[in-house]
């Protein structure tokens, strides 16, 4: 059995609103084995970023973890006092975000920002921190690291900024890197470079949890994939198995919606309707409103996430029954 870098069990996040309590993350369990890249895929509002923030302990009030536990290398971390969690962040577990411009300090030189992270977590002098920063800049392939050290974020391109973010996240060699839509704001040629970099990090021993809406990104780098819809995991499987044969009606719809680069077609497949409002979720399966195969049972009861074959779980009443494709 492989060691698990991250294990999340029954994680639930609640946000009280004027119109009632919503659960953007609802009973989510997932794991990231050591030395692997795991993906969470889903549309906006499905709870994928919220899951990541909950794991980091970075939820903004009034969002709160109300159930479940998070284990980092076997150690439960949600019950730790805030001070200890802060020490974990950056040292053991790091996160990079979609838009590097909003997560870097605009009035601080990028080199100093990375050096600050080093000095926060290790006892070392300014000179050592600077040397280490230049070294990590080289590792993430930032050209001319010496001159980039004293640049401000706005002087760098989007791709370079994301590299600085990755450098900052990686500089203390964390066990887990959470990448929330790391390439969404970038051009395709830069995206390919960044994905390549994430793969090299994995090979160097860091486990990665990637959050993305882009199935191309998931297919390219992930070993295992979780599909989220309206706060719940609806399907999980190894990447090859999932892309070979998606089973949940939502996953199937998502895969059919992907436009092909190689061949044209007359009309594009769509999933009818829109993602449901979390305040007005249907009583039964949350996908029932958009599902072509929905039955009375689906409208009334919430299906369990059940194993359909080794390594794959699906949350749908129709699995294994007649009528399912």
Tell me the closest approach of the beta carbon of residue 218 to another protein, in angstroms. 8
- Taking the least distance from each CB to another protein, the nearer of 204 and 268 is 268
- Taking the least distance from each CB to another protein, the nearer of 47 and 68 is 47
Q: For the residues of 175-238, what is the DSSP string, one character each?
A: SEEEEESTTTTS-HHHHHHHHHHHHHHHHTT-EEEEEES-HHHHHHH-SEEEEEETTEEEEEEE
Tell me the closest approach of the beta carbon of residue 21 to another protein, in angstroms. 22
- Taking the least distance from each CB to another protein, the nearer of 82 and 263 is 263
- Taking the least distance from each CB to another protein, the nearer of 74 and 264 is 264
Gyration radius of the chain's alpha carbons:
21
Tell me the closest approach of the beta carbon of residue 252 to another protein, in angstroms. 12
Tell me the closest approach of the beta carbon of residue 227 to another protein, in angstroms. 13
* Torsion angle of C-alpha atoms 186, 190, 191, 192, degrees rounded to 10: 170
Residues that bind another protein in the complex, under the rule CB under 8 A: 43-44, 143, 157-160, 187-193, 195-196, 213-221, 239-240, 243, 253-255, 257-262, 264-265, 267-271, 274-275
- Taking the least distance from each CB to another protein, the nearer of 125 and 259 is 259
Tell me the closest approach of the beta carbon of residue 151 to another protein, in angstroms. 12
Report residue 74 as tokens: 């076997």
Report residue 81 as tokens: 């006092």
């Amino acid at each position: 059995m492989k060691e698990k870098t991250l294990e999340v069990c029954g994680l639930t996040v609640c946000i009280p609103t004027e119109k009632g309590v919503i659960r953007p993350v609802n009973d989510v369990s997932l794991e990231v084995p050591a030395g692997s890249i795991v993906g969470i895929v889903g549309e906006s509002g499905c709870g994928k970023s919220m899951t990541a923030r909950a794991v980091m302990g970075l939820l903004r009030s009034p969002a709160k973890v109300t159930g479940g536990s998070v284990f980092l290398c076997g150690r439960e971390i949600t019950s730790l006092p805030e001070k200890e969690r802060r020490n974990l962040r950056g040292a053991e577990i790091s996160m990079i975000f979609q838009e590097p411009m909003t997560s870097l300090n605009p009035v601080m030189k990028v080199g100093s920002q990375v050096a600050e992270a080093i000095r926060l977590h290790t006892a070392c002098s300014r000179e050592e921190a600077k040397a280490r920063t230049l070294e990590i800049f080289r590792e993430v392939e930032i050209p001319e690291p010496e001159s980039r050290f004293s640049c401000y974020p706005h002087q760098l391109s989007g791709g370079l900024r994301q590299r600085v973010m990755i450098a900052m996240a990686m500089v203390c060699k964390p066990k887990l890197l959470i990448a929330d839509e790391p390439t969404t704001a970038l051009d395709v040629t830069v995206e390919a470079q960044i994905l390549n970099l994430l793969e090299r990090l994995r090979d160097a021993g860091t486990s990665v949890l990637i959050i993305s809406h882009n199935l191309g990104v998931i297919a390219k780098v992930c070993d295992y994939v979780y599909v989220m819809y309206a706060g719940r995991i609806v399907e999980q499987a190894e990447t090859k198995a999932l892309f070979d044969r998606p089973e949940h009606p939502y996953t199937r719809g998502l895969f059919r919606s992907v436009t092909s680069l190689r061949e044209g077609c007359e009309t594009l497949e769509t999933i009818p309707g829109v993602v449901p409002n979390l305040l007005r979720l249907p009583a039964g399966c949350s996908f029932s409103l958009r599902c072509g195969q929905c039955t009375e049972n689906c409208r009334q009861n919430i299906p369990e996430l059940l194993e359909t074959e080794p390594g794959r779980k699906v949350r749908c009443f129709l699995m294994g029954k007649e009528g399912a494709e």
